[in-house]
Amino acid sequence: MESPETSDVCIICNKSNALRCKRCKSASYCSKSCQRGDFPIHKLLCAKFSAFDILERPTEEHVRAILFPVDQRQPNLIWLHCRWKEPEDEYDRRHQSPNSEPYLNDYGREVPIQYNNVLARRLSNTVCVSYRDTFLIDGSAPNRSIEAITDTIPGYHHDWRGPIIAYGKVGPDLDPEQCRDIDMNDFRHIADYLNSYGSDLTSIPAVPPANCRKVKGVKINCLGDQKVLSKPHFEEIELSANDIIFRHHETSDIAKRIGLPILTKRCFPHPTWANIQDWGMFENHSPYNNQDATFLHLSLDQKTGSNISEGILGFGWAPTQWQNNVGTTVVVRQDKKPLLPMQMEVLCSYCRYHARDCLAHTMGEYAPDDPMSKGLALSMICRPTFSIWWYRMCNEKHKKGESCDAPFPYSV
Ligand SMILES: [Zn+2]
Ligand SMILES: [Zn+2]
């Protein structure tokens, strides 16, 4: 059966009243910029989807499905046989059973996708991905057509191996009985699943429920979120007091040392710019660029030497995961007191210009023959120097006529 034409919600940003891609008439976008954001992934299948003849359906039991071959960069469309099966016992229902075996040489493990983490959207129809359950240990080769998708986002990705197929099922139930044709919006949901699988990044923080205790935090928006989504550099946000960041986070040595311990977490890149590979619109910088978050994570640890394989570069350096492709970062105070954008702006500036200078001096950047001792540099990274930095920045803001109404961070 053909997929229902219910989706008029943008596949990249969730806005309604979306229009269809002119070529495949399947993928839904609210705007040119959302369509551009999807293009690096969409182009892998759009032409084949447009050419795939729906009238050539072999039987009523066949549905349009996607095969991700091991040895080609482009996925293919196939007619997948989904035989109707009568109930085997009183607990069973009549249901369609996809025959993955010819494509996987294995019965495969079926993973239903009913929620898109990247979009924070519940899906109206189920999308299923099926792969060899043991692909990491059975000698399966890395899947090149999945690589073509994960290559559009920098950083670590799950090691997808062996052939993989994807098909649709009707409805969002626990165990949908009927299969359906896959479409290009499903393709994007699959790409988001493959790209974000095993990722340690949070998606966009959820708005806390009304009756839950809230904590004020700050998002340091990366270049992509600033330029494409017009977000401010430092954005005020509210998180619930039991947000995942309080259990799973990283910390800043500098913030801890000056007596303002914070928790940090990177966000999953926003789909409008995450896959764009032409960085012209970002003046050839990476849209993931977030130097403030990098400097916030400079290490003050004198004991641990560098250990590149674990991403630790040692004293004076940010760990590798904070060096490149950082993206937007959420920051909260460890004590759950409110953290305001102005306070974060001053802390970032302090890390980037004051602390970084002290640390650079220990590495001989200013006087190669007479570098500052690490102990002396550390003594200069302290609450009194931060206080001076705070009042100096407040003064500068006053002179420029900007408001500076955030309280001194130690007095809240
Ligand atoms: Zn959109
Ligand atoms: Zn298209």
Q: Are residues 163 and 222 in the same domain?
A: no
Inside any domain, residue 4: no
User: What confidence tier does 89 reach under pLDDT thresholds 50, 70, 90?
Assistant: confident
The residue with tokens 């109206």 is 124
Measured between alpha carbons, how far is residue 344 from residues 32, 193, 236, 339 in Å? 34, 32, 10, 7
Distance (angstroms) between ligand 2 centre and the Cα of 38 equals: 10
Inside any domain, residue 207: no
> What SS3 state is found at 279?
helix
The residue with tokens 């007091």 is 241
Inside any domain, residue 279: yes
Distance (angstroms) between ligand 2 centre and the Cα of 328 equals: 29
Q: Are residues 35 and 136 in the same domain?
A: yes
Distance between CA atoms of 311 and 321, rounded to whole angstroms?
7
Inside any domain, residue 258: yes
Contacts of 123 (CB under 8 A, 6+ apart): 113, 114, 115, 116, 172, 189
Inside any domain, residue 12: no
Q: Are residues 227 and 288 in the same domain?
A: yes
Crossing angle for the helix pair 32-42 and 184-196, nearest 10 degrees? 70
Least confident of 18-27, 125-134, 281-290, 403-412: 403-412
Distance (angstroms) between ligand 2 centre and the Cα of 218 equals: 37
According to DSSP, residue 307 is labeled B
Q: Are residues 150 and 233 in the same domain?
A: no
186-216 per-position pLDDT tens digit: 999 999 999 999 887 776 556 666 777 899 9
Inside any domain, residue 254: yes
What would the DSSP string read from start to end of 247-274? TS-EE-HHHHHTT--EEEEEBPPPHHHH
Domain around 266: 214-411
Q: Are residues 261 and 393 in the same domain?
A: yes
Distance (angstroms) between ligand 1 centre and the Cα of 37 equals: 9
Give me the number of domains the chain comprises. 2
How many whole angstroms from its chain centre is CA 363? Answer: 34
Inside any domain, residue 293: yes
Inside any domain, residue 5: no
User: What confidence tier does 405 reach under pLDDT thresholds 50, 70, 90?
Assistant: confident
- Of the listed ligands, the closest to the CA of 270 is 1
Interval 88-99 mean pLDDT: 90
Q: Are residues 173 and 269 in the same domain?
A: no
Distance between CA atoms of 128 and 396, rounded to whole angstroms?
56
Query: What confidence score (pLDDT) does residue 208 get?
Result: 62
138: Cα within 13 Å, side-chain hemisphere: 14
CB 145 within 8 A of CB 69: yes
Q: Are residues 121 and 70 in the same domain?
A: yes
Distance between CA atoms of 21 and 35, rounded to whole angstroms?
8
Query: What confidence score (pLDDT) does residue 157 get?
Result: 87
Q: For the CA atoms of the chain, what is the radius of gyration?
A: 25
Distance (angstroms) between ligand 2 centre and the Cα of 23 equals: 5
Ligand 2 (ion): residues with CB under 5 Å are 21, 23-24, 46
Q: Are residues 351 and 377 in the same domain?
A: yes
Structure tokens at 274: 């995450």
Distance (angstroms) between ligand 1 centre and the Cα of 229 equals: 11
> What SS3 state is found at 98?
strand
Question: Of 196, 225, 242, which residue sits at a domain end?
Answer: 196
Query: What confidence score (pLDDT) does residue 72 get?
Result: 96
Q: Are residues 249 and 322 in the same domain?
A: yes
Query: What confidence score (pLDDT) does residue 201 get?
Result: 75
Q: Are residues 253 and 337 in the same domain?
A: yes
209-237 per-position pLDDT tens digit: 677 789 999 999 999 999 999 999 999 99
Question: Of 196, 224, 249, which residue sits at a domain end?
Answer: 196
Distance between CA atoms of 115 and 42, rounded to whole angstroms?
20
CB 14 within 8 A of CB 121: yes
Q: Are residues 182 and 107 in the same domain?
A: yes
Q: Are residues 222 and 122 in the same domain?
A: no
> What SS3 state is found at 354?
helix
27: Cα within 13 Å, side-chain hemisphere: 29
Query: What confidence score (pLDDT) does residue 311 get?
Result: 83
Question: Of 196, 231, 261, which residue sits at a domain end?
Answer: 196
- Of the listed ligands, the closest to the CA of 24 is 2
48-81 per-position pLDDT tens digit: 999 999 999 999 999 999 999 999 999 999 999 9
